[in-house]
Amino acid sequence: MKKLRLNNNTLMPALGLGTWQSAPGEVGRAVEVAVRAGYRHIDCASIYGNEAEIGESLAALMADGVVARKDLWVTSKLWNDRHAPEDVAPALRETLDKLKLEQLDLYLVHWPVALHKGVLRPQTAADMRSLEDIPPAQTWAQMESLVDAGLCRTIGVSNFSVHKLEALIASSRIRPAVNQVELHPYLQQPKLLEACHRENVVLTAYSPLGSRGRPAVLKTTSDPDLLEDETVVSIAASHRVTPAQVLIAWALSRGTSVIPKSANPNRIRQNFEAASVILAKNDLEKLAGLDRHRRYINGAFWALDGGPYTLANLWDE
Ligand code: A2P
């Protein structure tokens, strides 16, 4: 399994299992199938609401000797209502309790968006706090102290633009090691990729298959389905692999980490096998031509009337 060396010298398995939208009742089995198939990187988050079941599954796999803790990479994320300095360490401790772990491999600030404590999903502008009110640098200082305390090995961010990432790096004592963002051939983000390369930050690609399973509120009838894209389908046919495998192989070929979500045993195994698919130069050229800066997870749920966030100031574009 290919590993990526992070700026704190730890090695993160490049391909991981995504668990967003893996329902309680199925996520434990998904994790078990994945680890038995060879996955060594599991991507979690407090807001996914399924960490306790993932923790049960990981504990059983370790107790059965299927995997040792030192060979697993577990990521989780700080939710937006816990950005206040006094809330960061307790939030990580809750996640560790649920996951039944003593230490995370990677803890990410989930969004550059702050909510009042206890608000999981904002309904009105009054639920939100601005980044002036609660600057990312303040939250980050607490993330750094989690590393000092040994509660996580590595820290990073998610959904950060080049501008926000560079601002955070400028004021940080411990650099973010990872930025996890939406990436796939319809949203290639070349400037962000280049900036992360320059800053020695690894990008992790979420929704790499085009997030078919995203909630209905995030769908419109005109959304293109990446897994049915003609170019992707024809490259897959030429290699006798599936479109999903082409998308995963593409993400790995760019030096990013990638975390396709599946709760289906066959697709979990299929996605893992994508690591051995080698795309040719002309396949990569054709895939490069698909970029259309199309976000499936566009953050519109943060852009509430009268609130501090807009799509322009969220993505800085
Ligand atoms: P399922 O969990 O039933 O397999 P993303 O990682 O971009 O968010 O995509 C996840 C979505 O893609 C889920 O709906 C998932 O469904 C589906 N999916 C995962 N792997 C595959 C695959 N190999 N082929 C087709 N669909 C897949």
Any atom of ligand 1 within 6 Å of the Cβ of 142: no
- Provide the pLDDT confidence category of residue 26 given band limits of 50, 70 and 90: very high
* pLDDT, mean of residues 87-92: 98
Tell me how far the alpha carbon of residue 307 lies from the centroid of ligand 1, in angstroms: 33
- Provide the pLDDT confidence category of residue 159 given band limits of 50, 70 and 90: very high
The answer to whether 207 and 188 are in contact (CB under 8 A) is no
Any atom of ligand 1 within 6 Å of the Cβ of 270: yes
pLDDT tens sequence across 165-221? 999 999 999 999 999 999 999 999 999 999 999 999 999 999 999 999 888 888 887
pLDDT of 279 higher than 80: yes
- From the list 48, 186, 296, 309, the catalytic residue is 48
pLDDT of 111 higher than 80: yes
Tell me how far the alpha carbon of residue 211 lies from the centroid of ligand 1, in angstroms: 7
pTM comes to 0.97
- pLDDT confidence of residue 218: 86
Q: Tell me how far CA of residue 307 lies from CA of 123, 161, 218, 221, 289, in angstroms.
A: 11, 20, 20, 27, 36
- pLDDT confidence of residue 1: 84
Any atom of ligand 1 within 6 Å of the Cβ of 262: yes
Pocket test for ligand 1, best of 262, 268, 269, 270 (most atoms within 8 A of CB): 262
Instruction: Write out the two tokens for 210.
Output: 């085009």
